[in-house]
Amino acid sequence: MDIVWQPVKEHKLAKVFKKQHLCAACKEARRTTTTPHYGARKPLANLSINTTRKERGDSHGWKRRIRTPRTNYGCTVCMIAFCTGSQCWSEHLAKLNSIE
């Protein structure tokens, strides 16, 4: 997934993917999703330490894995996934403008 160096006018943010992809700008900047998570679910039974991702003292301390935002939107020319937020798209346009 490389940037295609064409005039900035041709690059548009639009829905280009059917399946969700990780936002390239957020992944590069190590940003996490801003979608609120309403806490960990209660387990149906106590889980053993061997069945979870990280070691912990009890089965009530499980936390959701922090992820990069996923999106269906991206650049129509480069075919790179970007969030609909203005920060990710503006970073992409800044890279395009830096070469011109």
Assess contact for 23 and 34: CB atoms under 8 A: no
Domain that holds residue 34: 8-99
Q: Look at 38-42, 51-55, 89-93 and tell me which has the smallest mean pLDDT.
A: 51-55
Q: Look at 45-49, 58-62, 90-94 and tell me which has the smallest mean pLDDT.
A: 58-62
- In percent, the amount of the chain with pLDDT more than 90 equals 23
Asked whether residue 2 is domain-assigned, the answer is: no
Asked whether residue 3 is domain-assigned, the answer is: no
Asked whether residue 32 is domain-assigned, the answer is: yes
Asked whether residue 85 is domain-assigned, the answer is: yes
Q: Tell me: the pLDDT tens digits for 13-28?
A: 999 999 999 999 888 8
**Considering its fold, how many domains does the chain have in total?**
1
- In percent, the amount of the chain with pLDDT more than 70 equals 68
Sole residue written with tokens 């935002």: 69
